[in-house]
Structure 1
Amino acid sequence: MDKLEEKKPEVEKENGKYIKIKKFHFVLSIFFVIFITAGITTVALTFGDEPAQPIQQIIQNRKEFNKLYSAYDTLKEKYFTEVDDEKLINGAINGMLEALDDPYSDYMNVEEAKSFHQQISSSFEGIGAEIQSHNSKIMIVSPIKGSPAEKAGLKPNDYILSVDGKSLQGMSATEAVMQIRGKKGTKVELMIQRGENAEPMKVEIVRDTIPLQTVYAEMRDDGIATVQITSFSEKTADELKDSLADMQTKGMKGLILDLRGNPGGILGQALEISDLFVPNGKVVLQVEDRKGNKEIYKSENKKELGIPVVVLVDKGSASASEIVAAAVKESAGIPLVGEKTFGKGTVQTAEDFKDGSNIKYTSAKWLTPKGNWIHKKGIKPDYEVKLPNYSELTYLSPEQEYTISSSSSEVKVAEQMLKEIGYNPGKVDGFFDEQTALAIKKLQKDQKLTENGILSGDTTLALMNELREKIQKNDTQLLKAVEIIKSQMK
């Protein structure tokens, strides 16, 4: 959850079926989602056709607005330059949303709202990362699979401090998305901080088209299918059903559903997907409003898979993916493997104004089938398994050049990477010496690159790709899931 993408449809029940009323995809450029969360209902504001009441009568009826009107009149009459009415009004609305101190509630002006609506059913251009506002900073919820953000090594919980030198401090996720978004092929320079007290690092990313495919299936030689869901968009459930059908024709004996790095999405899709795994009649989700009233959603699964299933989660699994994880864990007894999830247990609603702008606000909280609220707590997996430490190594910019006598934290990261993929850089101390250069030359020879012992450009990319491949081959969480499924197949 570059983009952060926010997808929200309205979901209601009709004749016992879940129906989608309206869907919005808030795609932050590069797939930036403001935290792809699902709103239950999207309602367009309507004001009726009656004649407008005199402003004096409105003030008399709504005395709580007296202070607001007074401030508006003062600025209009006494500010030292002419003021724009629309900016003042938009600022007032935005201020009310900010006063909620809720990272999932914000105001979108006409331009931002237009972008919000246009991303419903097409691909978009950006870096491909879900984001949200956190402690007045912009935090990455999760990079999108295969996106420029993922390839650049961005991780969940990384902070984006600035974009092309412009600070994002205090910006809403919506505002940050407008800064990060851009045309395919253009470069954007992000200042990234990994951890509250870590030294910031520059990351240059080339924007690209982010496809909307959200389900990736693969059959292993042992008959266990791995199916990854990267987010919950309007066609995800259909994609998953098609993938499962395909895996079944290939003799699927077990299933690993991978929700790692999935920042969430459309609520209706999460419900429909949960139905595939939760037995008929069992609770999938509870939604609770401000008065404590609860709406219970139950599974209508008419055909169970009948094979062992394990679900993978991590700290990048959020919102709608947590809904699915909680549903299968508590109502289907399907084990979760990985790390504790993000912890987003609220539901958002988007409402449009007549001028095309809108507000998005938290309208309810969702509870697990057993009534647990996981907000800011996350879901603890049944089997806690971490990835190898080297999976956390930071990104190296191909634009930077490191050679003999270079000394920096980036050089130390490069030495760690070289060591992990089998090239001896000598002492891992952040100092680029002759031994480091020799290791680089060996890497360049194996990759059929110019053997100059300099780390930059294609050599840097090759180094990071080699490490990425090692991480994939030594996916401890996936290996644990395979072990569990095989034990159930016996």
Structure 2
Amino acid sequence: MRRNGFVALLAGIVLLSGLSLAVGEQKEPTSEEYYELMKVFVDTFQQIDRNYVKDVDRKQLVEAAVQGMLEKLDPYSDYISPKDLQKFTESVESEFGGVGIHVHFDEEQRNIEVMSTLPGAPAAQAGIKSGDRITEIEGKPVREFTSKQEIDTAITLLRGEPGKEVKVTIKHLAGDVTETLTLKRAIIKTDTVLGESRKPDGTWNYWLDETKKIAYLRLTNFAGRSGEEMQEILQQLKKEGMKGLILDLRFNPGGKLEAAVDIADLFLDSGLIVSTEGRNALPQKFAAKKFGTFGGFPMAVLINHYSASASEIVSAALQDHKRAVVIGERSWGKGSVQTVINMEVEGAKAALKLTTAAYHRPSGKNIHRFPESKETDEWGVMPNDGYVIPFSPAEYLAYHRYRTQRDAIRPREPLIADFVDSQLAKARDSIEKELTKPETATAVPPAPEDDKKDEKKPEAKPSDKSTTSLPVFSVPRDQAA
């Protein structure tokens, strides 16, 4: 490692040490205290570097020290190394350099099947359609990709710098014709707002019941353009006569605070959406604006234990303002805000994701689930009275399979005929009851009498009550490239 890079890393450690100490203590440490703390670190580093039984990678050692400090803070603060930064940015922004296709690996034929193409993207412009097969990428046969890593290898080869070319061999579904195409990568923006099922052309159907005009929008995460996506879809649904809306935030781990505010603002014409407060961050209050509000129809929001962060901001705001009924299970309980701080390591970009503030719902109720929190404590977002619908482990697995089938253009197997999404069914029932009233209100409907028993149902609990890490369960979707 070059000396300048090493010094830069140590400087970063000094800064982080100050941050970690400041978060844990109320008083500001003096320069002498900083020196004493850093002396322990430097002495330890030198002893390891000089005397450990075998050579160590200094850069890895320092990065491990950074990660160790962050682990002492909370589960959501993290160090993003240069090699992981691009993947992190792509996941947050839901955009990358690619050719504009959703794909999955067909184990039987050992090739990559194109599930859908993005209109106007390089793949679509080249004539690639749903059902086509990718047999080679950059001259490398898919059949020879490392076992169990085929889809990851394909995604890595297909993605890249916008403007750069990638060569693919395609076996077309129509006519059984094979050809090699050269595609020029472009900026690809993946959809974060999905519908209930796909149409034959791969686009989404946003109607749960087109006859009764009940729409269904499923938000996978809160990316930079999620608010814009949802606004465009809502405008189209409004033109088509939308009378009710179900917003599905189940399995949504969150994302950008700004996106959560934008989406909540689409359904609220006034009032507080969320407020944030941090030790070294100015308090902020985000209020709804009347302009551009979509109102005049009943709403239901679906959440479960894996709905976290930005999902909790939106569901809490709509619940507190009685704009929607919240249905499902108690949410995850993440009431903290992380700031991404750019860093540089030996000329390569890295980042620090640091918890800098906490957020509060309009009612003032606590969202955050602290490590010592009990099930009886106040945290997360609870469904409205009478609308707690827990899933059993078996139902989670059935939903997982059913959703995967519904998301595919051509399911590999028949749909599960006997699966009933009881949470979605409850939301639909809630909307339909509101629509049958003489005057449809946007306020939360009272719990139906025949559903009072739902209040006595046990709430679905995480397998480990003490866990504070982000949920790992998710419904897999075709990967984008």
State whether residues 337 and 481 of structure 1, in contact with CA within 8 Å, keep that contact through their aligned partners in structure 2: no
Distance change (3 Å), C-alpha of 1:292 and 1:480? farther
The Cα of 1:367 is off from its aligned counterpart by: 0.5
State whether residues 215 and 240 of structure 1, in contact with CA within 8 Å, keep that contact through their aligned partners in structure 2: no
Q: Aligned runs of 1:211-226 on 2, under 5 Å?
A: 211-216=190-195, 217-218=206-207, 220-226=210-216
When the two chains are superposed, the root-mean-square deviation of aligned CA atoms in Å is: 3.9
Q: Aligned runs of 1:263-278 on 2, under 5 Å?
A: 263-278=253-268
State whether residues 385 and 477 of structure 1, in contact with CA within 8 Å, keep that contact through their aligned partners in structure 2: no
Q: Which residue of 2 aligns with 1:471?
A: 420
Q: Aligned runs of 1:237-252 on 2, under 5 Å?
A: 237-252=227-242
Q: Which residue of 2 aligns with 1:107?
A: 79
Q: Aligned runs of 1:23-422 on 2, under 5 Å?
A: 62-100=35-73, 102-119=74-91, 120=93, 121-122=95-96, 182-184=152-154, 211-216=190-195, 217-218=206-207, 220-280=210-270, 282-290=271-279, 294-304=283-293, 305-355=295-345, 356-376=349-369, 377-382=379-384, 383-386=386-389, 392=395, 394=397
Distance change (3 Å), C-alpha of 1:86 and 1:368? same
How many angstroms apart in 1 are the aligned matches of 2:389 and 2:67? 40
Distance change (3 Å), C-alpha of 1:225 and 1:65? same
The Cα of 1:332 is off from its aligned counterpart by: 4.4
3-state SS of the aligned residue for 1:381?
coil
Distance change (3 Å), C-alpha of 1:275 and 1:385? same
Q: Aligned runs of 1:418-429 on 2, under 5 Å?
A: none
The Cα of 1:333 is off from its aligned counterpart by: 3.8
The Cα of 1:293 is off from its aligned counterpart by: 6.1
How many angstroms apart in 2 are the aligned matches of 1:352 and 1:118? 15
How many angstroms apart in 2 are the aligned matches of 1:390 and 1:110? 38
Structure 2 stretches lacking a partner, 5+ long:
1-11, 15-30, 105-114, 117-148, 157-187, 196-205, 370-378, 403-410, 440-481
State whether residues 127 and 210 of structure 1, in contact with CA within 8 Å, keep that contact through their aligned partners in structure 2: no
The Cα of 1:390 is off from its aligned counterpart by: 8.5
How many angstroms apart in 1 are the aligned matches of 2:284 and 2:193? 28
Deviating above 6 A after TM superposition, structure 1's stretches of 4 or more consecutive aligned residues are 58-61, 123-128, 395-398
Aligned residues: 301
The Cα of 1:338 is off from its aligned counterpart by: 2.0
Structure 1 stretches lacking a partner, 5+ long:
1-44, 48-57, 129-145, 148-178, 187-208, 399-416, 418-459
3-state SS of the aligned residue for 2:153?
coil
Structure 1 stretch 372-381 or stretch 284-293: which is displaced more? 284-293
Distance change (3 Å), C-alpha of 1:63 and 1:368? same
Query: Percent identity at matched positions?
Result: 27
TM-score scaled by length of structure 2:
0.54
3-state SS of the aligned residue for 1:62?
helix
How many angstroms apart in 1 are the aligned matches of 2:53 and 2:393? 58
Deviation per CA, 1:448-479: give whole Å up to 9, x if none. xxxxxxxxxxxx9637x325x73359943333
Distance change (3 Å), C-alpha of 1:181 and 1:353? farther
How many angstroms apart in 2 are the aligned matches of 1:373 and 1:84? 44
Deviation per CA, 1:194-240: give whole Å up to 9, x if none. xxxxxxxxxxxxxxx99434243225211222222222112211111
Deviation per CA, 1:353-382: give whole Å up to 9, x if none. 222222212111110012222112211111
Q: Which residue of 2 aligns with 1:15?
A: none
Q: Which residue of 2 aligns with 1:410?
A: none
State whether residues 274 and 360 of structure 2, in contact with CA within 8 Å, keep that contact through their aligned partners in structure 1: yes
State whether residues 225 and 254 of structure 1, in contact with CA within 8 Å, keep that contact through their aligned partners in structure 2: yes
How many angstroms apart in 1 are the aligned matches of 2:69 and 2:227? 36
